[in-house]
Structure 1
Amino acid sequence: MGFLNGLLGNASTVSNEEVQSELGPVLIPGEEVDAAFKLVRDLIVFTNNRLILVDKQGITGKKTEYHTIPYKSISHYSVETAGRFDLDSELKIWISGAQLPAISKQFGKNSSINDIQKLMAAAVTR
């Protein structure tokens, strides 16, 4: 069901150890993965220092973009949950000084958006 959830835009949790191993080359010494969510091939990773958005590109997914956002740079965020006729949820993240959201991610109706919202709240209030 994980593959189907990914195709439908549902974020599924990923093992912290698996992500820690995969992101080993980009994590700094002492940085730990707190939680991670997979969205098709992409990842949303919460560490003890920052938010990392991993965007796998191309057919093979070998080309990867790592978008790092230090928690202290997040000025605010919004979460829009799915409604009766609106079948998707959305996460928007604003960076200090920006008027438009720097990040906008779409999720399916039955996704982990509430878990992501709790982690965002904990991260930006550290």
Structure 2
Amino acid sequence: MGHASEVSIEKLQREFQPILLDNEQLEKAFKLIRDMLVFTNKRLILVNKQGLTGSKTDYQSIPYASIKMFSKESAGIMDMDAELKIWLTGESTPTIKQDFRKGDNINEAYKVLSKYVLK
């Protein structure tokens, strides 16, 4: 899927407002070429732009309660990349795997997951 880079929440407010609950707020978002990982205070939203023009968009909601485990992996200080893995309830292998480039703070995604999954 490519490498994730952080996206400004302010730029996404208009696009996501129609699908957010009244008390739901965007926390962090990471863009992957055309697709996105969007963290709210209620769920993780996977955004999949489909087709050549990206005119069709699939929004997949994953409640934090459905996440049973997550990890971040890197080779250490000299590693240029890191990987975020997320396991959903009932799955023995990670359902979501996403690469982050050095400098794109995977720790921010990890903190949001920790904040809501580890309540």
Q: TM-score, normalised by structure 2?
A: 0.84
2:5 is equivalent to residue 11 of structure 1: yes
Q: Deviations over 1:72-116 (max 9, x none)?
A: 111010111254675321111011121011111112222221111
Structure 2: stretches of 5+ with no match in the other structure:
none
Find the aligned partners of 1:83 and 1:63 in 2 and give their Cα distance.
38
The residue number in structure 1 matching 2:70 is: 77
Matched, 1:30 2:11: no
Matched, 1:92 2:85: yes
Q: 1:43 aligns with which of 33, 36, 48?
A: 36
Q: Give the number of aligned pairs.
A: 118
Q: Are 1:109 and 2:84 matched, yes or no?
A: no
Residue 58 and residue 111 in structure 1: after superposition, are their counterparts in 2 closer, same or farther (change >3 A)? same
Question: Relative to structure 1, is the Cα distance of residues 17 and 86 closer, same or farther in structure 2, using a 3 angstrom cutoff?
Answer: closer
Flag structure 1 segments of 5+ consecutive residues without an equivalent.
1-7
Relative to its length, the structure with more strand (as a share) is: 2
Structure with higher RCO (Cα < 8 A, 6+ apart): 2
Q: Shift in Å at residue 28 of structure 1?
A: 2.5
Counterpart-to-counterpart distance in 1, 2:14 and 2:95: 27
Q: Percent identity?
A: 46
TM norm structure 1: 0.80
